[in-house]
Amino acid sequence: MVNTIEPEVKKSFHLSGVAVSAGDTQGGIGSGRVIIRYKREITPDGFFAPASRSTRFNPAGPRGFLLILLVLVPIFFAACATPSPPKRTDNICEIFRERPEWYDAAYASYQRWGVPIYVMMAIMHQESKYMADAKPPRTTCLCIFPGPRPSSAYGYAQAKDETWEEYQEQSGNSWADRDDFADAVDFVGWYCYLSYKQCKISRKNARSLYLAYHEGRGGFNRRTYGNKKWLLRVAARVQQRADRYRGQLAACEGEFRDRGGCCLWPF
């Protein structure tokens, strides 16, 4: 038994996502013929009302693809954007209030290497001012043209290529990135720990740790910094910042330790 459709009506409409001509009595769905029924209203003047077309959103269609693209593209660029430094870098409490995840990373590094948070943060401030993609300024050629950079230092900690590779190998953090704060602060803690072991520097002595950080542990032991008055002034500023950070952190660290986290019971 086959139901046919009035031959004089030749409109196209959608049935389950497939366009079907109203004059057709056969379809390509399954086997055999397709029974097509549809309802059309009659207007008061006796004419058929125009057949309504489906307005259901189809995510596989071109409009659906465009909408998905408009949603995902901004998310992608936001994820790839370089994070800006904290607004108030002179106050370690305000730094961690703006970036609470930084405190978690710094505290994890402290637990691992024993270097106080305020020392590591003072060193990182001096090295990069907390800029994720910081690099040394280029030299100049003939006082006009930009030349090469003086070193491969990069990221929050201004770690050079070879030193970063040494850290990755010795710490087991092989996937570490220099523009990731958690990796960078762990690197600073690791390097200062080695200075504590090999140079006999107290882990609270920000001045000497910074000199070893800048000159290398071998350079520190040879006292290569002795005739570099500018470097001694910088190291003194690092110590002053570490002392200021220490006092500030003592007054606010409780709020970061006690804030807790999200727990999905029973996992």
Q: What is the pLDDT of residue 202?
A: 98
Whether 144 is in a domain gets the answer: yes
Q: What is the pLDDT of residue 23?
A: 45
Nearby residues of 77 by Cβ (< 8 Å), 6 or more positions away: none
Q: What average pLDDT score do residues 24-51 get? A: 51
Enclosing domain of residue 132: 92-256
Q: What is the pLDDT of residue 59?
A: 61
Residue 250: which CATH number? 1.10.530.10
Q: What is the pLDDT of residue 265?
A: 42
Whether 98 is in a domain gets the answer: yes
Q: What is the pLDDT of residue 83?
A: 80
Q: What is the pLDDT of residue 258?
A: 79
Whether 220 is in a domain gets the answer: yes
Q: Which amino acid is at 199?
A: C
DSSP 86: P
**What gap in Å lies between CA 193 and CA 119, rounded to an integer?**
12
Whether 80 is in a domain gets the answer: no
Residue 226: is its pLDDT beyond 80? yes
CB-side neighbour CA atoms (13 Å) of 73: 6
pTM: 0.68
Number of domains in the chain: 1
Whether 64 is in a domain gets the answer: no
Q: Are 237 and 207 in contact (CB under 8 A)?
A: no
Q: Are 248 and 92 in contact (CB under 8 A)?
A: yes
Residue 92: is its pLDDT beyond 80? yes
Whether 169 is in a domain gets the answer: yes
Whether 28 is in a domain gets the answer: no
Whether 6 is in a domain gets the answer: no
Q: What is the pLDDT of residue 46?
A: 58
Q: What is the pLDDT of residue 198?
A: 98
Mean pLDDT of the chain: 79
